[in-house]
Structure 1
Amino acid sequence: MRYYRTETATGPLLLAREGRKVYDLTTARRSVESFRDLARVAATLEVGVDEVAGRLLDDAALLDDDAVSDPDRPVVAEEVWAAGVTYEVSSDAREAESGRPEIYQDVFTNERPEIFFKATPSRTVGPGEAVGVRGDSDWDVPEPELGVVVYEGEIVGYTVGNDVSSRDIEGQNPLYLPQAKVYDRCCSVGPCVASPETVGDPRDLELSMTIERDGETAFEGSTSTSNLARSPEELVSYLTRHNDLPELTVLLTGTSVVPPEEFTLREGDAVDIDIENVGTLSNGVTQV
């Protein structure tokens, strides 16, 4: 199933979509208002989130298909982390922006992956909201990524992520990575959380990105997560080593769709990122 969150006048609702059917799980159990609530019950019972949701369907209100057409952020994770240089094309892009090929090639081939802190809840936006580009940067790009939703250290689902980055700041010096990655509206996730059973093999998914500007396509590209050099399980294992994570965390797994060097995001652009078996995340762009 795919899980969506929406706000109403009476409070938040957790919706589950199975095929073309949409169920309001909160009507079946008022205490289940978010994916966090669902994951907490699943962890307690030591079962998957789909099994818990399945037990609620008979008592859940059946909604129209368009009930998930305007969702809110599906998970409000205390921390968002990201992995870098997990695709070879990402390694090439980092080398081009920095002029230091040996550093990023070492990251790509090394046993230990690059994992860095990306965002707090206040710096993360959801579907339909604008991601930010820094006012002191002249080269900014979206980075479409498969996001892993981690509850108490275990993978419980997948989402779509946009790891917006200031490539010129990052390229000036590798130690500037935090400023290139962490700032207001630097990250978006959504539109839903897809269960592991719904996603299937996370390393066999088509991923595409389209950027619209002034009503025209400014960039489009696609790839497959089969090019991901490290499995989500391996990345999560490094994230959790000697690192006491909060209850709910999102880990972005890296990008391999990189716009050309002459491209930079502008205020007013629209970014659509689609991942097979998960969904499409759409965001505008604003300067921060």
Structure 2
Amino acid sequence: MRYYQLREDGTPRLAVQTADGLFDLTAAKDRLQTLEDLFCAADITDRSIDDVTDDLLEDAVPLDAEVADGDALAAPVSSEIWAAGVTYRISEEARQAESDTPDMYIDVYESDRPEVFFKATPERTVDPEEPVGIRADSEWDVPEPELGVVLSDGDIVGYTVGNDMSSRSIEGENPLYLPQAKVYDKCCSIGPCVRSADSIEDPHDLEMWMTISRDGEVLYDDATNTGKMVRSVEELVDCYTAHNAVPDVAVLLTGTSLVPDESFTLEEGDEIEIGLEGIGTLSNTVVEV
């Protein structure tokens, strides 16, 4: 099942897409307005989110499928977001290329301990179809398409699409500038939905693609597979949650293997589309912040 967070006149609503269509779960249970509400209900009843939803579908109201592609979409989870880096070979190579200290990225790629870092708060995260940001003090900026793992009380409950916006020039100047290269206004987007973990057969075998367009011209178009990730989703989650007071609901982005070449940088007005097989396509434009 795919879960969509909707916002209608500022009021949150939760929808689910099944093989039979799109349904308004809030209409079936008015206190069920967000994914966090659904996660809480599943935890209290010791059931999966899909099992809880199955019981509500009879009373849920059908919705037009176009709702899941429209302006009513909100980021599906409003919680803090963390990210992992150097989990694909091409990411390790790209960060070597941008850095004056390339050996440290080889060490992380081959190390037992992955790189896990704080990425965004809800205030820094933009909804699907909304503009993501490039820093005004950066000369080299790229989107990073990533599989996002959705956690409830530290357990994997679903997957989403993430855009980890990055300033390669700032991080390349000095790796200690990573927080400034990664964490700033409009630095992240997730969505358009959360696909339940029970309905994903293997998160390590999903096609992922990204296109970047400018004035109607496609400047970047490439695809990969999450199977190229050198670390497992479970390994990254274990590292994130170990010795860390994680929130009740969180998202962990798992790294990228789609990296535009060194001659490319984002500009205001660019259009980014990131797709993940079986989950959906996350679309954003670009604005300078």
Normalized against structure 2, the TM-score is what? Answer: 0.97
C-alpha distance in 2 between matches for 1:186 and 1:66: 27
Letter in structure 2 aligned against 1:271: I
C-alpha distance in 2 between matches for 1:164 and 1:19: 33
Indicate the SS of the match to 2:105: helix
Aligned to 1:129: 130
User: What are the residue-to-residue correspondences of 1:156-195 with 2, within 5 Å?
Assistant: 156-195=157-196
Would you say 1:38 and 2:38 are equivalent positions?
yes
Letter in structure 1 aligned against 2:42: A
Q: Is contact 2:208-2:224 (8 Å) kept?
A: yes
Indicate the SS of the match to 1:55: helix
Aligned to 2:255: 254
C-alpha distance in 1 between matches for 2:4 and 2:194: 7
C-alpha distance in 2 between matches for 1:9 and 1:84: 37
Would you say 1:104 and 2:99 are equivalent positions?
no
Indicate the SS of the match to 2:74: coil
Indicate the SS of the match to 1:89: helix
Q: Is contact 2:100-2:173 (8 Å) kept?
A: no
C-alpha distance in 2 between matches for 1:154 and 1:230: 18
Moved over 4 A (4+): none
Deviation string, structure 1 residues 180-206 (Cα, Å, up to 9, x no partner): 000000000000000012222000000
Deviation string, structure 1 residues 106-141 (Cα, Å, up to 9, x no partner): 000100000000011100001010000000000000
C-alpha distance in 1 between matches for 2:31 and 2:173: 49
Stretches of structure 1 lacking an aligned partner (at least 5 in a row) = none
- 1:211 deviates by 0.3
- Root-mean-square deviation over aligned CA pairs: 1.0
Indicate the SS of the match to 1:254: coil
Report the count of equivalent residues: 287
C-alpha distance in 2 between matches for 1:247 and 1:253: 19
Would you say 1:215 and 2:216 are equivalent positions?
yes
Deviation string, structure 1 residues 38-79 (Cα, Å, up to 9, x no partner): 0111111222111111110011111222221222211111x1
Are the structure 2 counterparts of residues 201 and 136 from structure 1 closer, same or farther at C-alpha, using a change threshold of 3 Å? same
Normalized against structure 1, the TM-score is what? Answer: 0.98
Letter in structure 1 aligned against 2:193: C
Aligned to 1:272: 273
| Identical positions, percent | 54
Deviation string, structure 1 residues 3-44 (Cα, Å, up to 9, x no partner): 001112482210000125011100111111011100111111
Q: Is contact 1:24-1:63 (8 Å) kept?
A: yes
